[in-house]
Structure 1
Amino acid sequence: MRIIVHKARCQGHAQCSARAPAVFKLDEAGYILPGDIDVADGEQLLAADGVRSCPELALEIDDPPAARLVAEATRKRKTPLPEQLRTPEFATMDHAKTTELLDREAIRDCLYRYCRGIDRADEAALRSAYWPDAHDNHGAYRGSAEGFIRFALGVFKTGPRNIHQITNVLVEFIKPAQAAVESYFTALQRGPDKDGEMRQMLLSGRYCDLFQKRAGEWRIADRTVVYDWLEEQVPAAVLETERFGPRQPIGAPYPNDPVYAIGKHRVASRDNAFPAPNGKTHRWDDNL
């Protein structure tokens, strides 16, 4: 496997090296060294994870021809492929199926990154789910993905408790680099409204997304949130530390949640959060 390095895009997040230090070499300032990378067989999975982790799309996997993939798979098998399967048609079919499986997994991974971004108030994880020119029709917000991210950052400042879970992910490929994706979500949201009163809401619905694959990566290009259920609940009056009791640790926003201490396997968050437009602080009841 060969990785193309777009040196000019690197911003020094160093997430690639955190995942595969033997593959991705950095300079003293933490930027990727120039030059494409030939990855050894034993490092390919880690290298692919490193490519996906780059929020700046500075790394790109250069897929080998389908025939080479099948040849390598055949060479590694204990039992060689039957003669009738050693054909260009089989090679193309095998490669296409493998690509589709990888694409489906990449789309699901993107959906999960969105949930982490919203629930952990992690700006970089949230950004990594959208293309920069994406559009989002998201309840109280309708506009660019960049605007929604700024909108969400304002909500994060109020210290909400968000729990998003995604199920029933249906991926339908429109083109090789475009897919219609429907995923069901359940979201528990708690936080202060515009008057400072604590409110709690249980929401269920679907994310109806247009995904696009660019430079080998899948992200959301257009999102419409469809709401199927809404239930307002009475929030607990006691503090979380008292309510959870010995059930520790309690989930926290980036960078304090325990998930960020697990081998640093995470999407890098930017140091400087973007301010809300016009200095406005968005409230919990704006609905993420």
Structure 2
Amino acid sequence: MVKPVKTRGLADAIAEYVEDGMTVALEGFGHLIPFAAGHEIIRQGRRDLTLCRMTPDLIADQMIAAGTVRKLVASFFASGSAGSLHEVRRRIERHDPEPLEVEEYSHYGMFCRYQAAASGLPFFPLRSYAGSDLPELNPQIRKVEDPYGGAPVHVVPALAPDVTVVHAQRADRYGNVQMWGIVGAQQEVVYAARRAIVTVEEIVDEEVVRSDPNRTVIPAHAVDAVVHCPGGAHPSYVQGCYDRDNAFYRDWTPISKEPARLHAWLAEWVYGVPDRAAYLAKLGDHWPAAVAVGERLSQPVDYGRRLA
């Protein structure tokens, strides 16, 4: 059987799989955040999306400001510990320029929602809401009786995005995706979704993937499109490739604080460039120099093979 090649251009993948009104998850837990894909969604003018994201940092602020997002399903609202998300705050605190619908969970609550959908379950139990006021604020967090006679337990509903987008270090052309470092909920959110797009720093030969199969966090059967997109996680980081651009994160607070300045940034850095390669070229020499990482190799392992 001939395996299908799943490599696509980012613009083509977004155009095919992301439609107005969809529920879209862009995951990456501080690490491997798919900024390039988020920018392409903005560039293509998508509207009325429900954005799902643990820690809705700068990419959420940018997509909301661009008018792409109608509803945010999220946990832990933060700008990478570097300041405020002022567009999110304007929408929630002052309904300026219009309100944003928000459905809030804890990190583990979001993870459990993805896990439920990935497992084909309607909901998932967890104990971490004991003593929290989130169940009072979010009616989707409910209690059920323990069928085995224990105390009631909180549950969260399954979350199955129409499309999930994640970033990773590498994949082969068939869509076997390898990642290392903080992997967050990458595997669960891909399996939870109806479609999955993965952007990667590098497309490698199948033999590279086969040589270290335990790093294949997302296998080909769960992936619809794999996109070669070096620098696709900037300004977040990719373990072993580049560090986080902390200066960019610090700069975002004053940028997002003023709506006119924020929209000028979008005009210049998203609408004003055709793709991620042009975005990186516009960053100039500052970017690779500021976020370069030194080599730190993992020790090799011997998987062994049968001799006869």
- Whether these two folds match at TM > 0.5 is no
Normalised to the residue count of structure 2, the TM-score between the two structures is: 0.22
TM-score (norm 1): 0.24
User: Which structure has the larger Rg?
Assistant: 1
Higher strand share: 1
